Amino acid sequence: MRIAIVNDVMMAVEAVRRVLAAAGGHQLAWVALDGEEAVRRCAEDTPDLILMDLIMPRMDGVEATRQIMAKSPCAIVIVTANVSDNTSKVFEAMGAGALDAVNTPVLEHPGAQDGAQALLAKIETIRKLIGAPSGARPSQPERSVNGVNDLSGTLVAIGASAGGPAALATVLGALPADFSSPIVVVQHVDEQFAKGLAEWLDGQTALKVRLAHHGERPVPGIVLLAGMDKHLVFSAPRQLAYTPEPVDCSYRPSIDAFFKSIEKFWPGEVIGIVLTGMGRDGAEGLRALREKGHHTIAQDRASSAVYGMPKAAAEIDAAAEILPLDKIGPRITSMLAQKRKTNV
């Protein structure tokens, strides 16, 4: 796993770093010396796991956990000098989203080995919980014989253009608060309006909607919206990035570029959706997803504000289903519910 360390005491940082290095199979993502720096670093490069201290200057571990879980969520374990002496803060941090707590291992201490094993046991538990690989991250996404697997759950990927904001509000508004899959949206919109769109959509659904950050990984219950004048793509398994490539796309961000990166890097199943919009962006990418065995949906003519992109998808047989706008959200929910029943 890629693991970050947040602690203002360099001796503690070194102790944790040595434990990770000795164990093998983990990569140190970055080190932050206080909670404020951790929030910023996590937004820029979201790791698999953060080992978070409690007592730090500028921003403590509780507030840092709260902000990270709101802005760029990932697994967090509290690693502090003495858990039993800080139980109230530990519980507060867990209430903010931390998963567990453990004492900081101490260098050259009689109980150093026990402390190291306790930390590694917590890390292994989290690894199993989030489905991260036990060894080094593979350079290519893992796939089963039919092109998909269940390691990362089902990604819901949505592309929209003209008429998209209202259509997105309808689709996202139909999803339940306990929706169990990550959602990433590429909407053709100027960068200066993207933040306002995310805030508006956040008020239209029970889910949390915010702009996607470079380097983060989608998680269930959070809707990530492309928010820059660059293409939002997957640059590695489960990891998003902003890139100027390809430079010859008519749209920035490009839905085709996004969908094609999903086909290349997302290691789980996908539901790809093209909503109302002018032009043909998204059609080729949707077809690439369908050809890999993923389920694809296009909005129908009658409910589309502009029947351009969904029409292009229908013309090249990229969509497995063509549905009215108000049926798309319930269809996604029912499909995922059926998958859960099948996997039980």
- Averages of pLDDT over each 10 residues, the chain, 344 residues: 92 89 87 94 93 93 92 90 82 82 75 75 80 47 36 82 92 93 93 89 94 91 92 92 88 94 92 94 96 96 93 97 97 88 60
Residue labelled with tokens 């209430």: 95
In three-state secondary structure terms, 31 is strand
The whole-angstrom separation of Cα 280 and Cα 15 is: 54
Among candidate residues 281, 295, 300, 303, the one labeled active-site is 281
Q: What is the pLDDT of residue 138?
A: 37
Q: What is the pLDDT of residue 111?
A: 47
Length of the chain: 344
Instruction: Work out the end-to-end distance of the chain between its first and last CA atoms, rounded to an integer number of angstroms.
Output: 27
161 is catalytic: yes
Q: Write the DSSP symbol of residue 5.
A: E
Among candidate residues 72, 152, 161, 303, the one labeled active-site is 161
* Six token digits for residue 117: 């094993």
Amino acid identity of residue 216, one-letter, is: E
188 is catalytic: yes
What is the pTM assigned to this prediction?
0.59
Distances (CA, A) of 125 to 24, 149, 216: 16, 22, 21
100 is catalytic: no
Tell me the backbone φ, ψ of residue 139, rounded to 5 degrees: -75, -25
Q: What is the pLDDT of residue 131?
A: 67
Q: What is the pLDDT of residue 174?
A: 97
Q: What is the pLDDT of residue 210?
A: 95
Distances (CA, A) of 54 to 96, 115, 222, 271, 297: 13, 17, 26, 39, 46
Tell me the backbone φ, ψ of residue 94, rounded to 5 degrees: -70, -35
Q: What is the pLDDT of residue 85?
A: 83
Among candidate residues 188, 213, 231, 294, the one labeled active-site is 188
Q: What is the pLDDT of residue 32?
A: 93
Q: What is the pLDDT of residue 180?
A: 83
- β-pair type (100-103, 154-160): unpaired
Q: Are 34 and 11 in contact (CB under 8 A)?
A: no
Q: How far is CA 252 from the centre of its chain?
A: 21
Query: Which domains occur in the chain, in start order?
Result: 2-130 (3.40.50.2300), 154-343 (3.40.50.180)
